[in-house]
Amino acid sequence: MNPYDSRTGDLFDQAVTQRQIQPLVAGAVVLRQFATDQAAELVSGIDRVQSQAPFRQMETPGGFTMSAAMTNCGPLGWVSDRTGYRYQPTDPQSGQPWPPMPEPFRQLANAAASTAGFDGFEPDACLINRYLPGAKMSLHQDRNERDFDQPIVSVSLGLPVLFQFGGLRRNDRPQRILLEHGDVVVWGGPARLRYHGVLALKPGHHPLTGGCRYNLTLRRAV
Ligand code: SIN
Ligand code: FE2
């Protein structure tokens, strides 16, 4: 059943009543608490992935080291190095295929996309970002994918952060939205190429992730 239907405002399940859809702009929504029930499973999935493909700080084409550490799972992984940004089927560090995408990742992404109005989303790439205090992600567009008709599904786990969601031009002033553990942002359609990023993570402790924040970005790359 769709937890966003007429049960909203009902008192019989606190966890359900805290879930809500927050529209950002046409084509973009925050699904508050959409991943909370599966969060422990998602974090176990991250642990399994990172045991095979460890988190690493990638280099940008401009020669900077990204402050967030990254790894990937699924058929394709997003990588950055001095030669550019791209998707590839293998981890450049080991030469091995990226670990398989855990089934709960795929299911959650499909359900979140449907709830946001994008039916049939089947991700073939999941970038996992790990932020420690001070780490951030500058405003950028997700544009290394082949088909911009496919949305982006972005899952927040652990410590909260301020998300910036801007316009189609880098200089458009972004909205700032607090993303907390379990929140899922979906953007697609007219919002697919909007600039976005996160401000520096503040130190803290989360019972499930300790001193960090994870972000899963699920995409259809090809
Ligand atoms: C990203 O855009 O790759 C990450 C966004 C986030 O960490 O919430
Ligand atoms: Fe992004």
Q: Express each pLDDT in 167-192 by its tens digit.
A: 999 999 999 999 999 999 999 999 99
Query: In angstroms, what is the span from residue 121 Cα to ligand 2's centroid?
Result: 17
In this model, does residue 15 exceed pLDDT 90? no
Residue-averaged pLDDT of the chain: 93
Q: What is the pLDDT of residue 100?
A: 98
Predicted structure pTM score: 0.93
What percent of the chain has pLDDT above 70?
A: 92
Ligand nearest to the CA of 155: 1
Q: 72 CB under 6 A from ligand 1?
A: no
CATH class of 33-54+102-219: mainly beta
For ligand 1, atom 7: residue with the closest CA: 215
Measured in Å, how far apart are the chain's first and last C-alpha atoms?
Answer: 31
If you take atom 3 of ligand 1, which residue's CA is the nearest one? Answer: 217
Q: Which of 112, 193, 88 is nearest to 148 (CA)?
A: 193
Q: Is the CB of 217 under 6 A from ligand 1?
A: yes
Q: What is the pLDDT of residues 30-88, one digit of tens each?
A: 999 999 999 999 999 999 999 999 999 999 999 999 999 999 999 999 999 999 999 99
pLDDT of residue 18: 81
pLDDT digits (tens, 9 = 90+) for 94-143: 999 999 999 999 999 999 999 999 999 999 999 999 999 999 999 999 99
How far, in Å, is the centroid of ligand 2 from the Cα of 194? 9
Domain boundaries, the chain: 33-54+102-219
Distances (CA, A) of 189 to 26, 54, 147: 8, 33, 11
Which residue's CA lies nearest to atom 1 of ligand 1?
197
Q: Provide mean pLDDT across the span 3-19.
A: 49
| Separation CA 15–CA 35 (nearest Å) | 11
